[in-house]
Structure 1
């Protein structure tokens, strides 16, 4: 009888160790490697929809056109936007064409649908200097825009994003299941 109790205690301790180690690994991964995020709003439509659930990598090197999640500079929320300008870049928009360092980019990811037949442009003309009083994106900062330009609150409104505010890069779309996708949507 005593031997059975001892074996039962050992088995329970063994299971507890597994549970504790698993919890530490999961919490560690969530804290330092990746985390699930729920998309809020329509600013990244059509790339992401309201209430999509994505996995964010906290260890990725940020590159142009990556979709990043960051702490909003104006409220206590996480935002998701597309990186347009990296440190050292010039950024401007002319006649709905994006120019980074003088090179024109076709933005296939931008929502160009509008309810207003008189809407001439999806993205208003601007230069980085007009918006943030800088000729180039400073070191440690990023210029971001939403894909749904007519409904996006982004660097055109609140300025540049600090590298320290970045939570991570969108890597996996988990939900809805019919939109499951591994790798960021370019």
Structure 2
């Protein structure tokens, strides 16, 4: 039994990767069952103004026959909109990072799923298209960048104790962590609140 545990332990520490999701944002045509959502937030911005102020193409029927997967950008009912007087949109877009039944924790902006480091382009905090390592390289030239690094290392938004995602719910985080209101603030969202999958922009 001891030998078996020693043999299995390294496998448990292997990072979790997503080889299915592309970082590139595609320009797509609007097809049957799709709608265009005018996205005015910068929560998904990765340094190239992705989705900011453009028509985002939503496939409303995608999840009727397909499962929600990690890495998907989903169009969902914003649970904070009804409680806010700040003009939040009723619906919003964000990325799925954890699935029903999984455990998620965040340490200094790095996501861990079931104890495994999420080793993909959206697995760590980003600001202005840069992750923490890239920000540190830029920090000597900018007080603003130093401030962002401090936020990533110390804030409640980028450090979260482990949480198990309930059945039928999903944990979402925007790609631009510092500018995103998401599951770090209002918790996981239900499958019923997901209105479609983002296919790209038009």
| TM-score above 0.5, yes or no | yes
SS in 1 for 2:185: helix
Cα deviation 1:121-145 (Å, max 9, x = unaligned): 536211343xxxxxx2111111111
Q: Is the 8 A contact 1:56 1:169 kept in 2?
A: yes
The residue aligned with 1:66 is 72
Separation in structure 1 between the aligned mates of residue 45 and residue 171 of structure 2, nearest angstrom: 18
Give the whole-Å Cα distance in 2 for the aligned partners of 1:87 and 1:45: 26
Equivalent residue number for residue 132 of structure 2: none
Report the equivalent of 1:126: 160
Contact 2:96 2:171 in 1 (8 A): yes
Question: 3-state SS of the aligned residue for 1:49?
Answer: coil
Matches of 2:162 and 2:189, distance apart in 1: 13
Pick from 108, 132, 143: which aligns with 1:95?
Answer: 108
Residue 162 (str. 1) matches residue 190 (str. 2): yes
C-alpha separation in 1, matches of 2:200 and 2:50: 11
Provide structure 1 residue ranges, at least 5 long, that are not aligned to the other structure: 1-28, 130-135, 175-186
Q: Distance in 1 between matches of 2:120 and 2:110?
A: 8
1:12-40 Cα deviation digits (max 9, x unpaired): xxxxxxxxxxxxxxxxx4xxx32111112
CA RMSD of aligned residues (A): 2.0
Number of residue pairs matched by the alignment: 137
Between 164-173 and 105-114, report the one with greater CA deviation.
Answer: 105-114
Match of residue 37 from structure 1: 37
- 1:143 is the counterpart of 2:149: no
Q: Normalising by structure 2, what TM-score?
A: 0.61
SS in 1 for 2:184: helix
Pair member with larger Rg:
1
Q: Does the aligned pair in 1 maintain the 2:98–2:171 contact within 8 Å?
A: yes
Contact in 1 for aligned 2:51/2:201 (Cα 8 Å): no
* Equivalent in 76, 80, 94 of residue 81 of structure 1: 94
C-alpha distance in 2 between matches for 1:83 and 1:144: 4
More relative contact order in 1 or in 2 (CA 8 Å, sep 6+)?
A: 2
Structure 2 CA distance for partners of 1:40 and 1:88, relative to 1, 3 Å = same
Task: Give the 3-state SS of the residue equivalent to 2:146 in structure 1.
Answer: coil
What is the TM-score when the length of structure 1 is the normalising length? Answer: 0.66
